Chain A
Amino acid sequence: METSKLTGDRIKEYLALGKRFDGRKLDEFREMTIETGISKNAEGSAKVKLGKTEVLVGIKMGVSEPYPDSPDKGNLMVTAELLPLSSSRFELGPPKIESIELARVLDRAIRESKFIDLEKLCIKKGEKVWTVFIDIYSINADGNLLDAAGIGIIAALKNSKIPKYDEKNEKVLYGELSDNKLPLRKEIPLSITIYKIGENLIVDPTQEEEDINDTRVTMGSYDGIISSMQKGKSKALSEEEMYKVLDLNEKVWKELFSNIEKDLK
């Protein structure tokens, strides 16, 4: 059942006092756990829990032809599945816009920041390159799947190793990982979504809070540089609010990064 207007009003009243139902501050994330290497057949994987929200991210690598306009670069493909397992709100069927948007927004955060050095994933220019498949799955949906998945992607990529490639027989030797980790940049592009509820801006909403959000802005940034951004949902932001969003992103990014740094060796 979606959050009732009654409870929604209470949430907004409390926010106006700078408080949230679970005692967090408006710019505070829930308790987070990150586990890597949770699926052995993946080249890299991670499980992220943000409060009760849980996502799994797996990395698979394959060899294929490069895109014609980037003959010496590897490929990246991000997909997301909002599994019916994770919520009564998700149904079976072709991907809905929610999962498509989630995948594309997070794709841009990784792609535009050039986090993966795609040039190093070229095997033979114009003929063979590695494709990195990032697959996101929701296991329990309790708000903010976006950021949980974003963190999961970073953790899974950092956990990934390139499989051995048999050039002669043109076969990927899955299960035999080389010692080569995925070529990643040092700077980590963390994706953070800022949600507006009434007059207040918060991060990491529970499902209850997310149900009543008016609009949200997801930003992927690293070291103060923003490389991707998307505003979602239909209410407007004032100019002032937009600047507040950007400032909040910088502040939260630093805190979030320091929290997860140790988990992302």
Chain B
Amino acid sequence: MAIKRTDGRKFDELRKMYAKVGVVPNADGSAMFSFGDTIAIAAVYGPKKMHPQHMQDPEKGTLRFTYNMLSFSVTDRIRPGPSRRSQEISKVSEWAIDPVLMIDKFPNNVVDVHVNILQANASTRCAGINAAVLALAHAGITMKNIVSSVSIGKLDKELVVDVSKEEEDYSEGEGATDIPITFTGDGKLTHIQLDGKITTEQLKEAVKLAKKACEEIYEVQKKALKESIK
């Protein structure tokens, strides 16, 4: 590989991951997940009554996902409060997890998932989704499977797995293309976004890389659940 990653990783090497459940005692389920220096924490409250009543769905439950970055999680302080970016990420993350949730099991109810990024070094939405799904499982929510999320990057012409901030800002040649992707535990794709410039061929390659990386992430998540004692 021509490009040397600043942190010395191989092109398909993930940063060191850390996952733990039960980090917020008040929550019905909670977890934290990190890719290197990117740390996400998630808490689940529910199923519970949905307010306001007119938003209740008698056929199935609702998942409400909120993604929020702490003001000091990045170098340039973020003013507290929702932004258009955080709202979009919230929705996309919700969609990434919806396919595995069996929400017909809790009609008229809502499950709230709150994700907060404590420290950001790119791939925050991926860390957020990974933490959120752990928290949902920890909360005993009925699910067909769990999901795992990773960001694939293209730096100039080369693909890398698990993009760091420095790589996100890569400006040589064709610059950086950022592709966050989420897979279910049984290999189905539930989320993909792209920012940059890439050919169809290489995008297919990126999806392949992501699937493999997600299998690694799945093992970390599984371990966290199996080793928790609440």
A interface, CB within 8 angstroms of B: 38-43, 45, 52, 56, 58-60, 62, 79, 81, 83-88, 92, 94, 133, 135, 137, 139-142, 174-175
Given the contacts A62-B77, A142-B26, A40 and B119 also touching, CB distance less than 8 Å: yes
Which chain B residue has the least Cβ–Cβ distance from A87? B26
Q: What per-residue 1/0 map shows which CB atoms of B196-207 lie under 8 Å from chain A?
A: 000000000000
Tell whether B52 is near chain A: CB-to-CB under 8 Å: no
- B151 interfacial by beta-carbon distance below 8 Å: no
Q: Of the listed stretches B37-45, B96-104, B136-144, B216-224, name the one at the interface; the rest are far from the partner chain.
A: B37-45
Nearest residue in A to B66 (C-beta to C-beta)? A92
Question: B26–A41 contact, CB under 8 A?
Answer: no
Asked if B112 is at the interface (CB within 8 A of a chain A CB), the reply is: yes
On chain B, the residues within 8 Å of A84 by CB distance are: 43, 45, 66, 112, 114
Residues of A contacting B76 in the complex (Cβ-Cβ under 8 angstroms): 174
- Whether the pair A58, B72 counts as a contact (CB closer than 8 A) is yes
B17 CB → nearest A CB, Å: 17
Known: A60-B71, A133-B71. A40 touches B66 (CB 8 A): no
Residues of A within 8 A of B24 (CB): 85-86, 139-140
Q: How far is the CA of A2 from the CA of B76 in the complex (A)?
A: 39
Select B80's contact among A62, A79, A175, beta carbons within 8 Å: A79
Bound form: Cα–Cα A10–B120 in Å: 46
Contacts of A137 in B (CB 8 A): 70, 116
Q: A41 to B120, Cβ gap below 8 A?
A: yes
User: Could you pull out 8 A-B pairs where Cβ atoms are within 8 angstroms?
Assistant: A41-B119, A58-B71, A83-B68, A84-B66, A86-B24, A88-B48, A137-B70, A137-B116
Do residues A56 and B70 form an inter-chain contact, with CB atoms below 8 A?
Answer: yes
